[in-house]
Chain A
Amino acid sequence: MANPLFRKHILSIPDFSREELELIVDTAARLKASPRDDLLQGRLIASCFFEPSTRTRLSFETAIQRLGGRVIGFDNASNTSTKKGETLSDSIRIISSYADAIVMRHHKEGAARLASEFSEVPVINGGDGANQHPSQTLLDLFTIRETQGTLEGLSLAFVGDLKYGRTVHSLAQALSLFGCRFYFVGPEALAMPDYICEMLAERGVSYTLAETIEEVIPEVDVLYMTRVQKERFDEADYQKIQGRFVLREDMLKGARDNMKILHPLPRVDEIETAVDASPHAYYFEQAKNGVFARQALLSLVLNETV
């Protein structure tokens, strides 16, 4: 029987069941433990970055080539027909006749779902505006499972910009299927949006709003840090919160042994560099896992069984 993601589009985390998320995480773990170079043999993948993103593009293209696939595509829209006014739907109709799957990033929200309606081949969303970036969420899930041995019943704190950070929204959506509990730590102006809190309440997931990083550190298995961008505040307001959501090495004393610190990177100053040497720091390993999570997605979408 074909795996449930075979020939499916990968657009948005809420589209996935718990079992499908587990399948992706398991596959990523297997590909990390025993690399394969044949799963995309003879396959041609279109890597279409209508909006540039060097890190995401390199990670996807590495994943494709490591699995034995080949890549066509573009890394920004400036020389493409989009620039001349072609609609995304027309571009996708053409590209989908060339390739076996399309990896795409676009600055407009909903672009990947729209593309999936015009594509003959699976579309993998590499980010659509402020909406979704499922491969980031999947690499986060994979990293959490790798460090904790399970996704079930964990305690996690999300720190920083919870309002605009799409990575924390998607991760909360995914982990709400696994009976996790959450602590939200951030400035009031950047609080978790209502729709996420409503979704958690609907699913009976408990969450706590906390004032400081220190108070949640002893309580959690995962500390997920994000950056508070200065541009979101006026100067006076920024002064008030500046430094409050920065992780320092001395805060980690009361942490559980298994506690790991994650961050979607790039980090600026919200994690002191002294933390990097701590056994709790895991954000660089997390970044490496991106290639395995993307390998898992591509393999499952393009092979009946992996």
Chain B
Amino acid sequence: MTITRTVEGLKNGTVIDHIPAGQGLRILRLFKLAELGERVNVGFNLSSRHMGAKDLIKVENVELTEAQANELALFAPKATVNVIRDSEVVKKHKLAMPATIEGIFACPNSNCISHVEPVDSFFYVSEQTNDIKLKCKYCEKGFSKDIVTAVE
């Protein structure tokens, strides 16, 4: 199947759409998308038929991998991540909850060794009935997703 729909203003890169309004800036910062040296277009509080308001991020010349896209699932589970080549969508990532998440969020436990040693943070992700739990590999403490993603 050839997907021919073009994406306005983006020849090559990745479009992250349907981000809950207010999360766009955090995604930009946590995934360091603005530090890649590529042009980034962002839209905040755009109108969306399904979501009311949404944020949108377009990064030129960067193709997010499946694993990177899945890390978005934690705070924007309904986001769509499309990879564009020559103005065509060549890959639509289906976001799945990752089994682990590494180097993105700091451990909320201030006495965790991961804060003072040259290692990436590392959480095991488990989905529970009403919540997503992240468990730090080092201090073994478990946290609700909202606590981990709120750590600056």
Contact = CB atoms under 8 A, between A and B. Distances in A.
Contacts of A111: 113
Interface in A92-132: 106-111, 113-114, 117, 128-132
B118 A110 contact: no
B113 A109 contact: yes
A12 B140 contact: yes
A14 B142 CA distance: 14
Contacts of A195: 142
B140 A131 contact: yes
Given A12-B140, A132-B140, A109 B112 contact: yes
A131 B137 CA distance: 12
Contacts of A109: 109, 111-113, 138-141
A176 to B, nearest CB: 16
Contacts of A129: 111, 139
Contacts of A12: 140
Chain A interface size, under 10 / 10 to 19 / 20 to 34 / 35 or more: 20 to 34
A301 B109 CA distance: 31
Given A109-B139, A114-B138, A195-B142, A130 B111 contact: yes
Interface in A56-111: 87-89, 106-111
A130 B141 CA distance: 10
A197 to B, nearest CB: 12
B119 interface: yes
Contact of A89 (B109, B118, B139): B118
Interface residues of B, number: 16
Given A108-B111, A129-B111, A113 B116 contact: no
Nearest to B137: A113
A132 B118 CA distance: 22
Interface string B111-123: 1111011110000
A88 B142 contact: no
A192 to B, nearest CB: 14
A89 B113 CA distance: 10
Given A108-B112, A129-B111, A113 B117 contact: no
Contacts of B15: none
Nearest to A106: B113
Contacts of A107: 111
Contacts of A108: 111-113, 116
A89 B117 contact: yes
Contacts of A131: 139-141
Contacts of B109: 109
A88 B113 contact: yes
A88 B115 CA distance: 12
A121 B116 CA distance: 22
Contacts of B140: 12, 14, 109-110, 113, 131-132
Interface of B: 109, 111-114, 116-119, 136-142
Given A12-B140, A89-B118, A131-B139, 5 more contacts: A89-B117, A114-B113, A114-B114, A130-B111, A131-B140
Interface of A: 12, 14, 87-89, 106-111, 113-114, 117, 128-132, 195
15 contacts: A14-B140, A87-B116, A87-B118, A88-B117, A108-B111, A109-B112, A109-B113, A109-B140, A109-B141, A110-B136, A113-B137, A114-B138, A129-B139, A130-B111, A132-B140
